[in-house]
Chains A and B, each alone.
Chain A
């Protein structure tokens, strides 16, 4: 009885894990490295910020590092398809330039690869420079409760809002292949290490079903003993 109860719990849990948890861990999704500013959504209302050709639209306090490999921005409606946009990343000991080709449609969120820094480059700046003559608009949000630690400037002048920028490690990567990174993220701003978080996760997934199974099996055995007596 005792072994059968334990086996039932473990098999039922393993069945759920294979049926739902494994596919969940295998689904490819954008791997976010950092959201220096807020994307519209939920309580953050959309606001468009216009910039003329050649103007530098920049955000500060961006952490570049080996995993900051992609930049995603949002294009807002304008009279013409968006011009090409130069993306400049700068940090102490690091500089990278990329280019979003002209023609991005209004409402799109183009993604551009960025040469990653060899090591954590620390506090950096990311600038978007529309090429050509036309005015274009970037997707952004208002300040207030959506305010970010990063400040948005146009040619060095702070604007009353923020353009939306997300840095990705990969446009599509499964959570299962990033468990180490996730543990490190969870440990950020906390008095624990990524390894300790990883160990806790392992204990929960492997240990909890066993502990529940043993508890129930032991209880069943005790009840069976009492019934025999």
Chain B
């Protein structure tokens, strides 16, 4: 008995060590994430049905579905039944349709599920569009799937969404650690940085559905924390290996994790420049980083070899061979310019649909667009968010100019954070440009910015830190209250769309 109680008391002691502001923000994040999991009807998140199909196939067969081959399609038998007989497919993007919720409909679906053949859960071998994704997130979710053996499809789906909630809590915790590295002992900026992540509507929404993006955001936050910490404390082989491990985990989660590879080089260089080590030590640290990345590559190759369809993971975002002949660097730069700024006379019109900073950053990331893009705020909300973000960026820029000495003292953190954000954005723009060379899909949406969420939080914390103490607290309070209002407003719109 005492041996049982000892670990419990250790957990209690550890829990007491969690700072109160973090514990409270974790509680808020948990409440919001659980609410998002309920307010979004099953399989109505972006590509959620395909992600669930991947998890189920991996959990039931131990194999990855293929992106190109197979005869089973993207879904197993029970998910197909949920989409067809459960009426969930017709729901996607049609605001006039509601999900079934009556006990009678639930009973009828159970009868359909019970009548499925015994191998119904193993049939979703592909082809599936998410078959190009590496397996880490799905492997994590497959554990939840396997641990709920008695539940039907909808019970298991609920557990999968709880898996995303757990990752969201990890993201919030990691942001707290990152903000601690950046702001030292100052708790208000740290709380604001973490609060922004916990309350950002898109982060909450993505944590309430089944999708790889939330895990990718967590690995980015882990990378940033370890990178800034390493730059502060100095490189060791263990820190190099850990830092590379976060990159490997991100790469094993999604193709957009590849954007962390150049950021890793910048982080290692910043840490080296800060502490200047000898040749032997540098070689040892570089070997640790390279070894970890190679191990990650090996895992990737193994995972790819179990996937059908040529053993290739990653889609158009990562494969560099297609459309290479049409690639034009001037056109790419012009495309990036026109994404953020008005077109200059000398520029040819940007490829693809007329989207830019306003649509992707403001509407789809800072404020948010929900469900499968059919739940959104009134336009005045996006106007307000755009103006607010503009003012905050201006304050941050001015604070950087006024307090440049303090900023210079923090150069490694600033370089690491901006390089990571820059690498991600450049990666997204190049991927989008390449996709537009071969078709109409711009391959860039707001949720792809989710890996930047910890950086967004730290930027908000930096604004609060740069202001006089009392003003900073007021700005922080208004910012967090505004984000909470946005989150609750978005939840209300989602409930109205699906359940009213």
Number of chain A interface residues as a range:
35 or more
Q: Which of A25, A209, A212 has the most C-beta atoms of chain B within 10 angstroms of its own C-beta?
A: A212
Q: Is A146 a contact partner of B481 (Cβ separation < 8 A)?
A: no
Q: Is A189 a contact partner of B495 (Cβ separation < 8 A)?
A: no
Number of chain B interface residues as a range:
35 or more
Q: How far is the CA of A5 from the CA of B481 in the complex (A)?
A: 11
Q: How far is the CA of A207 from the CA of B29 in the complex (A)?
A: 12
B residues 67-104 touching A (CB-CB < 8 Å): 84-87, 89-90, 92-104
A residues 5-24 touching B (CB-CB < 8 Å): 5, 8-9, 12-13, 16, 20-21, 24
Assuming the contacts A149-B87, A215-B25, asked whether A120 and B98 have C-beta atoms less than 8 A apart, the reply is no
Q: Which residue of the partner chain, among A122, A191, A212, contacts B158 with CB atoms under 8 Å?
A: A191
A197, CB-defined interface residue at 8 Å: yes
Report chain A residues within 8 Å CB of B106.
188-189
Q: Is B102 a contact partner of A63 (Cβ separation < 8 A)?
A: yes
Task: Give min CB distance, A173 to chain B, whole Å.
Answer: 9
Q: How far is the CA of A207 from the CA of B32 in the complex (A)?
A: 11
The stretch from B4-12, B328-336, B452-460, B484-492 touching chain A is B484-492
Q: Is A208 a contact partner of B28 (Cβ separation < 8 A)?
A: yes
Report chain A residues within 8 Å CB of B146.
none
The stretch from B119-127, B187-195, B391-399, B432-440 touching chain A is B187-195
Q: Which of A187, A207, A216 has the most C-beta atoms of chain B within 10 angstroms of its own C-beta?
A: A216
Q: Identify the closest chain B residue to A40 (Cβ).
A: B96
Q: Which residue of the partner chain, among B38, B85, B95, contacts A190 with CB atoms under 8 Å?
A: B38
A31, CB-defined interface residue at 8 Å: yes
Report chain A residues within 8 Å CB of B173.
none
Q: How far is the CA of A149 from the CA of B485 in the complex (A)?
A: 37
Q: Identify the closest chain A residue to B106 (Cβ).
A: A189
Q: Is B87 a contact partner of A12 (Cβ separation < 8 A)?
A: no
B300, CB-defined interface residue at 8 Å: no
B216, CB-defined interface residue at 8 Å: no
Report chain A residues within 8 Å CB of B495.
175, 182, 186
Q: Which residue of the partner chain, among A147, A214, A222, contacts B89 with CB atoms under 8 Å?
A: A147
Report chain B residues within 8 Å CB of A215.
20-22, 24-25, 28, 191, 195
Task: Give min CB distance, A181 to chain B, whole Å.
Answer: 9
Task: Give min CB distance, A226 to chain B, whole Å.
Answer: 6
B residues 230-284 touching A (CB-CB < 8 Å): none
B34, CB-defined interface residue at 8 Å: yes
> Digit string of A105-137 for contact with B (CB within 8 Å is 1, else 0)?
000000000000000101100000000000000
Q: Is B154 a contact partner of A8 (Cβ separation < 8 A)?
A: no
- Can you give 19 contacting A-B residue pairs, CB < 8 Å? A9-B481, A20-B485, A34-B100, A35-B98, A38-B90, A145-B90, A147-B84, A149-B84, A149-B85, A149-B87, A185-B499, A191-B154, A204-B491, A208-B32, A216-B188, A216-B473, A218-B187, A219-B191, A220-B188
Closest CB pairs A-B (n = 8): A188-B101, A39-B96, A219-B191, A215-B24, A219-B187, A42-B94, A215-B21, A185-B499
Interface residues of A (CB under 8 A from B): 1, 5, 8-9, 12-13, 16, 20-21, 24-25, 29, 31-32, 34-35, 38-44, 61, 63, 65, 120, 122-123, 145-149, 166, 175, 178, 182, 184-192, 197, 200-201, 203-205, 207-209, 211-216, 218-220, 222-224, 226-227
Interface residues of B (CB under 8 A from A): 20-22, 24-25, 27-28, 31-32, 34-35, 38-39, 42, 84-87, 89-90, 92-106, 108-109, 151, 154-155, 158, 185-188, 190-192, 195, 199, 374, 469, 473-474, 476-478, 480-481, 484-485, 488-489, 491-492, 495-496, 499-500
Given A13-B485, A146-B90, A185-B499, 17 more A-B residue pairs with CB atoms under 8 Å apart are: A12-B477, A12-B478, A16-B485, A35-B97, A42-B94, A44-B94, A61-B105, A149-B85, A189-B105, A190-B38, A192-B158, A204-B32, A208-B484, A215-B22, A219-B190, A219-B191, A226-B185
